[in-house]
Amino acid sequence: MASTIKTVELTLPASVEALRKLKIGTVVYLTGRLFTAREGVYKRAIEEGAGMPAANVDLGTANFHCSPAASIEPDGRFNVGAVTATASFRFAKWLDGWFKLSGCNIIIGKGGMTSEIYRNVFVPNKAIYLTTVGYGTGALLGRGIKDVPGVYWRKELGLAQAVWVLDVEHFGPFIVESDLDGASLFERENEKIAPGLARLYEGTKPATLRRYGETDDKTDEVI
Amino acid sequence: MIPLATIEKTAETLMEKAAIEIPEDYLGGLRRCADTEKGDLSSFVIQAMLENYEAAKEDRRAMCGDTGVPRWYVKYGNDARPESGPIGVESALRRATANATQSIPLRPNRVHPLWRTDHDNNVGINAPEIDYAFHPDADWIDLTTVHKGGLFGSDYRMLFPGDGMQGIRRFFLDTLVAFGKRGLACQPAIVGVGLGGSKDACMVLGKQASCLRTVGSRNPDPKIAELEDEFKELGNSIGMGAMGFMGSSMVVDCNIEVGYCHTGGMPMSVHMFCLSSRRATARIHGDGRVEYRTDPDWFTDYSRRATVEWHTPVPMATE
């Protein structure tokens, strides 16, 4: 099984040439520096105008939509256990500003975004989207973390929303959900599954009591 | 008298077991999914998860980075006598939740819904939830912790008798298709269905069906048990596997629980317990002995209370 799946080891920061070689459905392992940022960071950095908490070189240019299962020991050491991503579609509205501010060219998360966002926001910024696997392979990812060189905005945002900088080795697996062309692996899979849905629903009719805003088109998504 | 220290220590151990060790029944079910899955991407995902469970156990680290929202189910034997009473037990469970969040570590997920502030320890207003049940003729306390994750994969709908079995089937499919895409539900999952009750009871029954019944268990009503088999099959025939990739691994098992409801309605809820189905149970006996297990054994003839009054079964005299 899985013999048809291509696997790539990618070093961070990743060049455009390196990203160009990645196509949707490719399995990727990362080595280098990346950092966590989610809604708390986006709000603070972009909406509140705080900018980035540190320089690119200190943070890396791959943004993980993640809050680690981690604690800070009384002596100040970071104890990182498992890490997995949180669903990314909620953060789409901040991304254009974020790419320009952060210089990131890789977003790592859960579940991806729509191909419309990829085409309009990712492609012009030469960025790709990697999805975590599972979800989630928290323990495997935890093993790939070799060092935590810094945690920023810990006091302002709390442990879960803070910026955790992670130095990683053979960190993965991830799957390329969107490549530099802006295609979406999830949407491709949805299209393959869609034709069989009608047969499943055969003989059923919509519920007696409807709901506002409800769609009955099963090819639609909820994100 | 069951010492409070035993309760707190047991609760901390349960927190760790739930976060780190995938229950055997779920693991067995997922392995069966792996054996039959034809989709290459879905197979890859399941294989990665199987490796992940091993890594979690070896390293004693949480299997998933989103460690869910820890909560408790406490079942008191009618003759159980915990030191400091039920109030003492609640305080022990709250302390254990906070301590284990730091020591394992778990992600401190719990925040105030409006102010988004937290105590970094998964404890706060109305958190962790503690639910209770009772059992006749017993001196033990069963403690179960469930760390269910998931912003996605649950839904509720008021159906009506006129919607019939096809309406139930349709809402089941709706929920699985909607949250199965992109793997938002973190499937393959234990799908719990609540049918009947009042609105809140319907949600509770469905959630408990997914989190507190094991893979392979069946409802005692043979017709409902058949429906469980049918819905498992139905979910796996959507064409969707792990992460919403093409495949057949959507439902590890389907558990249905029912409660009498208003004559005019047929409320239904659907819940999905994910690839990190975190649950762990311990029985603390009256003499202080502790036994750990993964089957909460929450639903019993007594807990379902099918008759007007519950009578402890009296052994029939031999003829």
At B312 the pLDDT is 63
Describe the strand order of the beta sheet including B69-77 as a list of residue ranges.
B130-135, B69-77, B141-148, B279-284, B290-293
pTM of this prediction?
Answer: 0.94
Q: Which of B36, B46, B58, B64 to mutate to test the interface with A (most CBs of A within 10 A)?
A: B64
Q: How confident is the model at residue A2 (pLDDT cuts 50, 70, 90)?
A: very low
Q: Collapse the DSSP code of A99 into the 3-class scheme (helix H, G, I; strand E, B; otherwise coil) and give the result.
A: helix
**A79 Cβ under 8 Å from any chain B Cβ:** yes
Mean pLDDT confidence for A183-202? 95
pLDDT at B227 over 70: yes
As a whole number of angstroms, the distance between CA B11 and CA B141 comes to 12
Residues of chain A with C-beta less than 8 angstroms from the C-beta of B167? 204-205, 207-208
Residues of chain A with C-beta less than 8 angstroms from the C-beta of B170? 201, 204-207
**Candidate from B77-91, B113-127, B286-300 with smallest mean pLDDT:** B113-127
Q: Do A71 and B105 touch (CB under 8 A)?
A: yes
B83-101 per-position pLDDT tens digit:
999 999 999 999 999 999 9
pLDDT at A169 over 70: yes
Nearest beta carbon to residue B105 from set A79, A110, A205? A79
B162-195 per-position pLDDT tens digit:
999 999 999 999 999 999 999 999 999 999 999 9
At A188 the pLDDT is 97
Q: Which two tokens stand for residue B135?
A: 């059992």
Mean pLDDT confidence for B211-223? 98
As a whole number of angstroms, the distance between CA B162 and CA B233 comes to 24
As a whole number of angstroms, the distance between CA B129 and CA B13 comes to 18
Q: Mind telling me how many Å the CA of A193 is from chain B's nearest CA? A: 6
Q: Collapse the DSSP code of B103 into the 3-class scheme (helix H, G, I; strand E, B; otherwise coil) and give the result.
A: helix
Q: Do A143 and B59 touch (CB under 8 A)?
A: yes
Q: How confident is the model at residue B318 (pLDDT cuts 50, 70, 90)?
A: low
**A90 Cβ under 8 Å from any chain B Cβ:** no
Q: Which two tokens stand for residue A135?
A: 């979800």
**A84 Cβ under 8 Å from any chain B Cβ:** yes
Residue whose token pair is 């659907």: B270
B272-291 per-position pLDDT tens digit:
999 999 999 999 999 999 99
Q: Mind telling me how many Å the CA of A16 is from chain B's nearest CA? A: 26
Residues of chain A with C-beta less than 8 angstroms from the C-beta of B179? 222
B39-66 per-position pLDDT tens digit:
999 999 999 999 999 999 999 999 999 9
**A25 Cβ under 8 Å from any chain B Cβ:** yes
**A101 Cβ under 8 Å from any chain B Cβ:** no
E strands present in chain B:
69-77, 130-135, 141-148, 155-159, 189-196, 251-259, 266-273, 279-284, 290-293
Q: Mind telling me how many Å the CA of B130 is from chain A's nearest CA? A: 23
Q: Do B166 and A203 touch (CB under 8 A)?
A: yes
CB atoms within 10 A of CB B162: 10
As a whole number of angstroms, the distance between CA B101 and CA B114 comes to 22
Residues facing B76 on adjacent strands: B134, B141
As a whole number of angstroms, the distance between CA B173 and CA B187 comes to 14
Mean pLDDT confidence for A85-96? 94
Residue B197: which of B114, B256, B131, B248 has the closest Cα? Answer: B256
pLDDT at A35 over 90: yes
Contact B17, B292 (CB under 8 A): yes
A147-158 per-position pLDDT tens digit:
999 999 999 998
Q: Do A137 and B51 touch (CB under 8 A)?
A: yes
Q: Do B171 and A207 touch (CB under 8 A)?
A: yes
Q: Do A209 and B159 touch (CB under 8 A)?
A: yes
pLDDT at A73 over 90: no
Q: Which of B148, B182, B262 to mutate to test the interface with A (most CBs of A within 10 A)?
A: B182
